[in-house]
A = this chain, B = another copy of it.
């Protein structure tokens, strides 16, 4: 084992405010594979999943929810991997493990509870492919699940609008809305191909291409009785347009605002927040890791739906740890369809296939 090397992406410099993230902000290094001490175990990375929040760690001071990553440190990131040697009695060689593995081939881990993005999980019943632990059964699926059902309090029959609908969270949210008996489910995405995919594959009723259609007009047309839940991943004009078309007692689930993240400003908030008074509506921000102690609920539902074929695991896979900076960058360019996954090593042969 120790003859192998541990390839790593380390933070080389922080991007400037409006700079597009890319490989130039990272350094590609390698070092010997570390050895676990007592209570620790060594994990080989199988897949990593970049998320937009990771860009936020690359700032000296940021308004995010987690500390920044020091220059020279291995880039932080959740992934799924396999334990290949262990000095912890409850974690055996061969076990599948999800945690903050970092952008590297190998990492030393120990069990962690609800410690925000550092929380860990031993996968009791692995599902093939293991990347599902990062997508539909992982952060993307759980974000959609708790955002829609807990923050949004979706009730059957309600009409739902989802922005960045073809993204990792959006692709899960639309399907969950459908499964939970939503009325109309409308998605907003950035290409006709994505829009067709949303309707044909994921069960969205309609999809709006924000690059070619008048979003404000289309929302008004499609929601004559108003939007009951707007699950927002983008912010900007789309949020403002949605706020102008809320139903009474609507909920706006604020999951992200990628349209204004690191793009040239000035950026403004949605003046139509005022419609929340007329409509007695609510807007609420959330972070999925707050629901860590209820994660089993989500997993049970998501896994059940996945096994029944009600839920498609939409992944968009890059191949090779060396592509990880580009995988992250793609999220800010709207290039992914489904959950962006970067494969670091093949799934081990544990499914008897």
Spot the interface stretch: A94-102, A110-118, A127-135, A273-281: A273-281
CB contact between A278 and one of B64, B269, B274, B276 (< 8 Å): that residue:
B64
A296 lies within 8 A of chain B by Cβ: no
Q: Does A125 contact B (CB under 8 A)?
A: no
Query: Given that A280-B287, A283-B283, A284-B281 are contacting pairs, would A272 and B269 also be in contact in the complex, using a CB cutoff of 8 Å?
Result: yes
Q: Which 10 A-B pairs have the closest CB atoms?
A: A269-B269, A276-B285, A277-B285, A268-B268, A269-B270, A269-B271, A282-B284, A283-B283, A65-B278, A269-B273
A65-B285 Cα distance, complex, nearest whole Å: 26
Kindly state whether residue A240 has any CB partner on chain B within 8 Å: yes
Contacts of A64 in B (CB 8 A): 278
What are the residues of chain B within 8 A of A260 when measuring CB–CB?
A: 271, 274
Distance of A78 from chain B, by nearest CB (Å):
18
Measured CB to CB, the nearest residue on chain B to A64 is: B278
Q: Among the interface residues A272, A275, A282, which one has the most CB atoms of the partner chain B within 10 A?
A: A282
Residues of A participating in the B interface, judged by any CB pair closer than 8 Å: 63-65, 235, 240, 244, 254-257, 260, 267-287, 290
Q: Once the chains bind, are B267 and A270 in contact (CB under 8 Å)?
A: no
With both beta carbons as reference points, the residue of chain B lying nearest to A244 in the complex is identified as: B63
Q: What are 26 contact pairs spanning A and B, CB under 8 A?
A: A63-B244, A63-B274, A63-B275, A63-B278, A64-B278, A240-B269, A255-B277, A256-B277, A257-B277, A260-B274, A267-B271, A268-B268, A268-B269, A268-B271, A269-B272, A270-B273, A273-B283, A274-B285, A276-B284, A279-B285, A280-B285, A280-B290, A281-B285, A282-B283, A282-B284, A283-B283
A64 to B277, CA, bound (A): 9
Give CA–CA (A276, B274) in the complex, Å: 16
A269–B277 CA distance with the chains assembled, in angstroms: 14
A260-B271, A269-B273, A278-B287 given; name 4 further pairs at CB < 8 Å. A268-B269, A269-B272, A273-B273, A283-B284
Residues of B within 8 Å of A286, CB to CB, are 277, 280
Closest B residue to A282 by beta carbon equals B284
Closest to A255 in B: B277
Chain B residues lying within 8 Å of A270, measured Cβ to Cβ, are 269, 273
Q: Which residues of B lie under 8 Å from residue A283 when comparing CB positions?
A: 273, 276, 282-284
